Amino acid sequence: MWVMSLSYVILGLLCAGPLHGYELKRAHDQRMPRAKPAAFGQVYASLGRLERDGMVTPSGHDRAGGPERTAFDITEQGRVALDAWLGEVEPPAPHVTSALLTKVTVALLVAGEQRGRAYLIAQRQAHASRLREYTQLKTADGIGFADLIAADYAIAHLDADLRWLQTTLDRVAQLHLEVTG
């Protein structure tokens, strides 16, 4: 059984009606703002797996000024699978993993207090800058609903990272006081 979330996004997009791969890629990129754009190869590979597994079926062909394109429609089996996926609560991550956590930990272990603090401060500035960008985006005229909830999500994560970076800076300062005494 396939579990890639792109497959479920494709199934969700097909609920509105048949689409071909190019339209699915465009719809994904429009409806999943601020997410990594889907690659055409990923879309077509996912469609192949979905068709193989009986989740989608070809529903017509179009040649509109280019190569022939096959439109796909979601099957009843695809709707059942999508409904089941949407009914599952997404479990919190079982492990604490993040490129930021790893880099900060290694910076503090290897680079020493001064260089580690410098890295933490630079990272905090980068996060604060990105937070300002998303805050401005939220107040832009004509922002769509999908962009708005993506910005809310990003802001919440950036805010949590900023609080953690500040807590870590405070801990490094406290450790320095304890060591130098």
Top pLDDT among 68 and 2 is at 68
**Residue 3 pLDDT exceeds 70:** no
Write out the two tokens for 82.
């999508």
Distance CA 19, CA 60 (A): 9
Nearest CA to 39 among 1, 83, 74, 4? 4
164 falls within a domain: yes
Domain containing 41 equals 5-87
* Whether 72 and 133 share a structural domain: no
Question: Whole-prediction pTM value?
Answer: 0.68
* Whether 76 and 150 share a structural domain: no
Residues 45-88: pLDDT tens digits?
A: 999 999 999 999 999 877 666 677 899 999 999 999 999 998 88
Residues 113-159: pLDDT tens digits?
A: 778 888 889 999 999 999 999 999 998 898 888 889 989 999 999 99
**Strand bridging mode 19-20 / 56-62:** unpaired
93 falls within a domain: no
